[in-house]
Amino acid sequence: MSLFSAHLLSWSALLLVLDALLWHLVPFKHRAQRVGVRLVLFLAFSALIINAGVSPLQAPVFADDQVAQLGATALGIFWWLYAARALTEVIGLILMRRIGHSGRLLQDVIGALVFLAAIVAAAGYVLELPVKGLLATSGVFAIVVGLALQSTLADVFSGIVLNTTKPYQVDDFVVIDGVEGKVLDIDWRATHLLTSAGTLAVVPNSVAAKAKIVNLSRPNNLHGVSISIKVPNHIRPRRVLDALDRTLQGSSSLLLSPAPKALLKEAGEDMSEYVASGFIAELGKKGEVRNQLFDLAHRHLEAAGISRHPDGVIEPSTRARALLDEVKIFRSLSHEERDRLAESMVAQQYSAGQVVLNLEEVPDSLFVIATGVVSASVPDGNGFTEAGRMGPSEVMGEQSILADTPSQATFTALTSSIIYRLDKNLTRQCMEQRSEVGQALNKLQAVRQQNSRLALMAKPVPVRRGGFLGWLQKR
């Protein structure tokens, strides 16, 4: 014990080294644990130097030992810096819990102010320097530096405003001053964005604070997606809008509320611009859904006999033949073979809500959708779950063609639809003549079975209530 008491200053210095080693080398799982350890070590350090006769509030006096005098002075200064470090860690922990990662900039600024106050206090109490003169001199120096670093200080204070008001956070997708990207970091000078091209854009905080900011990630479960289509003016707008309405209904990714809508945006001299828009729940699927909507719009417009070229015309008499050109399973057939198939195709009209093909039904034809939207639903034990939606140029009943297997789903028209029937025997003849037709049908069957399994897996499982409340509900 006497050995420990005789070397309190040495133990204090060793405690500082221990703190540095623990902070950088020990992998604490939680930040709160690291801050707690630092506070305990700081209190132990304070107790050691005070017992050794060193007070942070006055200059140490070891007149008979110059080495002890120098060490005590250094430890007194370190106490103020240690206190500032511990205080900034506590403030940082509070800010991270309250405002998340965006509080790092505010923590840095507050930390700088705390350390500045600690340095001034150490100079006044431990070194007994004339602090008033020092503050006056530093004030003049601060004015000179402030004028020289005016733009940098503007970035710092703008960063504080951005972190306080939080128009965006890390991992948000935003558009700042015309630059679109994902927020990677917000530091004391700028906001770092990862653009869609894979490049890093650095937007100064002062620019971001003044610019128009569009946060694409908020609200986090509602994101708009739209496409623009131009159609010749001689086409009646109602026909185009009906086709675009079927386009929106053909995408199961769009939310039902707010409801998707199609409208005429602008009528020019030769072409009219139409916009179809809706909302999705996941921002990451925006590009995929836009591509799907463009493809659906192309098919539904073509199925409605609407050409997007000013001089183009689609005659109703050639729609069956043109439809076969778009059906993937018949792409291996020659033009003459498609002509013969088109002559045998029989069109049938279905109204919205009418069942096209029932579960367990073995049809005698292959169904080819010409116009409209058809929903495929599979049984899930308690009812039916939608496995997908189909539009023009897609087929149904492939299981019956391959092996007289009954349908594993119910196909229902969501909109008024025109569906062609192609005789089963004629389709099988095509399979015999062209092996590619059978391969395409088998691939289509495998893909739809996989989609059905994914739809059933994605369906949320109802939570069964137990306990006293569950018992009451059963009574």
CATH number of domain containing 185? 2.30.30.60
Residue-level pLDDT at 395: 92
Domain boundary among the residues 314, 347, 376 is at: 314
Cβ neighbour number for residue 422 with a 10 Å cutoff: 24
Residue 465 lies in a domain: no
Query: DSSP letters along 213-239, please?
Result: EEETT-STT-EEEEEEEEEETTS-HHH
Is 8 in the same domain as 143? yes
Residue 8 lies in a domain: yes
Residue-level pLDDT at 309: 61
Residue-level pLDDT at 285: 87
Residue 76 lies in a domain: yes
Is 48 in the same domain as 170? no
Per-residue pLDDT of the chain (475 residues; tens, 9 = 90+): 444 444 666 777 787 777 777 766 766 666 777 778 778 888 887 888 887 777 777 777 666 667 777 777 887 888 888 888 888 888 777 766 665 555 566 677 777 778 888 888 877 777 777 765 655 555 555 555 555 456 676 777 787 777 777 888 888 889 998 888 999 988 878 899 998 888 999 998 888 888 888 888 887 788 889 999 999 888 889 999 999 999 999 998 899 888 999 999 988 888 899 999 999 988 888 889 999 999 999 989 888 888 766 554 445 446 788 888 888 888 888 888 888 888 889 999 999 999 999 999 999 999 999 999 999 999 988 888 998 999 999 999 999 999 888 999 999 999 999 999 999 888 888 888 888 988 999 999 898 888 888 887 776 555 454 443 344 344 4
Using an 8 Å Cβ cutoff, are 161 and 169 in contact?
no
Q: Determine if the peptide bond prior to 260 is cis (ω within 30°).
A: no
Closest by CA position to 392, among listed 315, 323, 474, 468: 323
Is 201 in the same domain as 294? no
User: What are the angstrom distances between the C-alpha of 88 and each of 25, 35, 103, 118, 346?
Assistant: 20, 10, 12, 11, 79
Is 338 in the same domain as 402? yes
Is 338 in the same domain as 434? yes
Residue 46 lies in a domain: yes
Domain boundary among the residues 270, 285, 314 is at: 314
Residue 159 lies in a domain: no
Residue 298 sits in a domain of what CATH number? 3.30.70.100
Structure-token pair, residue 406: 């009954």
Nearest 5°: phi and psi at 185? Answer: -160, 150
Residue 372 amino acid letter:
G
Residue 368: strand pairing partners: 395, 420
Residue 472 lies in a domain: no
Residue-level pLDDT at 374: 94
Is 254 in the same domain as 336? no
Residue 463 lies in a domain: no
Is 305 in the same domain as 328? no
Is 419 in the same domain as 436? yes
Domain boundary among the residues 215, 237, 255 is at: 215
Is 16 in the same domain as 133? yes
Residue 422 sits in a domain of what CATH number? 2.60.120.10
Using an 8 Å Cβ cutoff, are 237 and 264 in contact?
yes
Q: What is the DSSP letter of 407?
A: P
Is 324 in the same domain as 450? yes
Residue-level pLDDT at 99: 57
Residue-level pLDDT at 468: 39
Structure-token pair, residue 331: 């792409």
Residue-level pLDDT at 171: 84
Is 132 in the same domain as 229? no
- The helix (H) or strand (E) run that includes residue 275 is strand 271-280
Is 53 in the same domain as 134? yes
**Residue 432 Cα to chain centre, angstroms:** 48
Residue 468 lies in a domain: no
Structure-token pair, residue 297: 């719009």
Phi-psi region of 64 (alpha: psi -120 to 50; beta: other; left: phi over 0): alpha
Total of domains in the chain: 4
Owning domain of residue 143: 2-148
